[in-house]
Structures are given as structure tokens and as C-alpha cells.
A and B are shown apart, each in its own frame.
Chain A
Amino acid sequence: MIGIKAIASYIPEYVVDNFSQAKKFGESDEFITKKIGAECLPRKSDDQDTSELSMLAVQALFDKCPELSTKKIDALVVITQNPDNEGLPHTAAILQNKLNLPKTVAAFDVSLGCSGYIYGLFILKGFLESSGLQNGILVTCDPYSKVVDVNDRITSLLFGDAATASWLGTEPLWTLDAAEYGTDGSGADYLHVTQGYLHMNGRQIFNFAASQVAPHIKQLLKRENISEEDIDLFCLHQGSRAILDAISKHFSDISHRFVKDMTRTGNTVSSSIPLLLEKRAFNNENVNRILISGFGVGLSIASAIISKNRKELAYVN
């Protein structure tokens, strides 16, 4: 059985002060803290591309897990819609070379945004299990600083750069129990890149998240015959504080279990969920079952339930 064994991350040290940015647009500090949710936004340097950030996250994973040698890696998947250069060749191939992984490795990109981590988990799990393989690394890295227009009020206040690397393998610490997916391409125009710049219909993206995510989560729980109270933590894509508040209000009795933690990162696209898992969930003894949900560009959504594998309580530090 393939599941998550460890997660590591890389967040650039340089950050943009979001309060200063907000003033430029005539927005208040309160708007930043209560609606956007990010006080600062990490930004990669100009000479770093997606494969560089990804490499740093994977190196952090190797540092965290000395028992994971490059020789053991069977597959490398990169979730990104902002690949190196112009996307050809795929960033995973560039990363394979940077990491000096074996030439036997299967390396490919998956073009998904905020829902990408969950799709990536189950894609890689399925790939490894059906191919009789043991170990894979799932990377998320979607540096929107490459496409954000600094004069665009909403997108320039929202997105931060980051990369994560998750080790998927046998005898996991966390099992991938169930997932529910969804796509609505009629909303494709609501978040797109044209002529090199990101364009977002903030209202429609907000509406999608505020009206579709809670029912999607409830549908998954109902299908799996699990009650909301049986979920210890809800680690949702950190789209914005306003979106998280709009979703969690549909779970009023347990809204305190919705993690809201994007103050120092902003919306890091597909990295937001693994960042939460790494920081707030995986080393928490009181957390045994987590619901994760990612939603956004596409429009695309995925929700999943993961749980602590009681047979593997060894703590990987």
C-alpha cells in the first residue's frame, strides 16, 4: 500500500510586505488580515525557475529522510502550471537531472493548480501500485510571481511562491483513503494566463469556492460513511482568508478544526495543502484523520481523506 511517508518544503526567504502593497491599492490593513489572510508573500529570486525551487524542496526531503536515497526513487511527479522556460521539456525531466536521480525514474509533470496536490497524491499512488514500484516523490511548485501583474489589485496581494516534496512509498505514515474529484471547464476563463499575465475573475472564483467546496466535502464524507466530527483537521487549500471563512461557516459546529494559516505564505497554489500538513498536522499526536480539499483554476476540485497508519508510528524527523 502506497501512502505518504514524509513531506518537506522550500519557501523563499525574500518576502513582499502585503500591508505596503495594500496601501498602494487603497486597501486597509484590516482587509489584508481579515480578507486576504497574508501579511507577507514569499517571492523567488529572478534567477530561480520552477525546477530550482523544486530541487530545494526535494533536497529538504532528503535531509529530513536520510533513509531515502536517490537510488530508491522510482517516480518523480511535478505539479505545476508554471513550468521551466516554456514548458517543453517538462520540468520533471529537468529536475531529474538536477537531482541526479537514476535514469530509470519515471518523471512527468501534471498541469493542475490549487487542486493539484490531491490529484497528484492519487495519480502517483495509482502509478506506483499498478507498476509494482515502491517510492515516488510528488513535488508541488507553481510560482505565480512569474505571471502576476504587480498592478493587479487582487492577484498581487494573494499569491506566494513555495515548493513542497512528498515522499510516497510503502509502509506509509499516512494512508490515502478516499477521494472525490470534479471539473467544470465552463469556468476556465475565470482564472487564466494570457500574454504572460494572470487574469482572475475574483467574484466567480470566490463564488465557486464558497458554494461548491462545502457540498463536495460533505458528499465525500457521506459516501465514506464518515461524520464531520470524526475528522480531526480540515486542511483546505488556503485560497484566501475570506474563502476559508465562507467554506468553514457551513460546518459551524466544528469550524475551529479548519486550519487557517497563510499569514506568512499567501496562496501558494498546489503547495498550500502539503505546507499545512507538514507544519500543522503530521507531527500532531492528536491528529489521526484529516480531510484535505483543493479547488481553483480549471475550475477543478478534489477532496480526500487521509489517516494515520497505526501500523507505522515511527516518527520520521
Chain B
Amino acid sequence: MLTEQQVINVINNMGLDVNLDAENTSTDESFRSLGIDSLDVFNLLIEVETLTGRNVPDGDVEQLTSIKKIVKYYS
């Protein structure tokens, strides 16, 4: 099962100008307001798919707008 910390770790290792920590990051907050754009989300999902072994169909990507939503999707 995917955890919020795992998703945060992936984001932090992506070389973006964001540095999240579980304590101070609202996992409800949208990626856009965290400074993570659509192409960053593509990158993020590649890593998450590799981590979980489960692909996300194109039609489901639009709904994955926050860390919490990704974790819920994989639960």
C-alpha cells in the first residue's frame, strides 16, 4: 500500500524547487498550489507506478491532484 511519506519522498527526489515534509505539508493541498505542474505529475506517476507495480490509466490522471488523492487511489 502506498503511503503519503512515500509520495513525499518521490516528490523530494524529483529535483523540483519544492521540499516537502510530512509535518508541514498539507497532503490535501493541490499540486498546482505546491508548485507542481502537470508535467511534474507525469514524472511523479512514473515513479509511483514503478514503486507500486500498478499503472494509472490516462483517464484517471486528472483526478490525482494531491498527495492524498494519489494515496487514496492506490488504497
What is A's interface to B at a CB cutoff of 8 Å? 31, 35, 201-204, 206-207, 210-211, 240, 242, 245-246, 249
Tell me if A206 and B42 are in contact (CB < 8 A): yes
Told that A203-B58, A242-B43 touch, could you supply 13 new A-B pairs with CB distance under 8 A?
A: A31-B37, A202-B39, A203-B45, A203-B61, A204-B58, A206-B39, A206-B42, A206-B43, A210-B42, A210-B43, A210-B46, A240-B39, A246-B43
Interface residues on B, range: 10 to 19
Does chain A have a CB within 8 A of B53?
Answer: no
In the complex, per-residue mask of B41-75: 1 if CB is within 8 Å of any chain A CB, else 0: 01101100000000000100100000000000000
Interface contact B37-A35, CB-CB below 8 Å: yes
Report the tally of A-B residue pairs with Cβ distances under 8 A: 27
Q: Give per-residue flags for B12-42: 1 if the beta carbon is below 8 A from chain A beta carbons, else 0.
A: 0001000000000000000000000111001
CA distance A245 to B16 in the complex (A): 11
In the bound complex, how far is the Cα of B61 from the Cα of A207, in angstroms? Answer: 13
Question: What are the 4 closest A-B residue pairs judged by CB atoms, nearest first?
Answer: A242-B39, A206-B42, A35-B39, A203-B42
Are B46 and A207 within 8 A (Cβ)? Answer: yes
Distance (whole angstroms) from the CB of A199 to the closest CB of chain B: 13
With A35-B37, A206-B39, A249-B15: A201-B58 Cβ-Cβ less than 8 Å:
yes
B46 shortest CB reach to chain A, Å: 6
In the complex, which residues of chain A have a beta carbon less than 8 angstroms from the beta carbon of B39?
Answer: 35, 202, 206, 240, 242
Residues on B with beta carbons closer than 8 Å to the beta carbon of A245 = 15
Query: A36: nearest residue on chain B (CB-CB)?
Result: B39
| A/B interface sample: 14 pairs, CB < 8 A | A31-B37, A35-B37, A201-B58, A202-B38, A203-B42, A203-B58, A203-B61, A206-B39, A207-B46, A210-B42, A210-B43, A245-B15, A246-B43, A249-B15
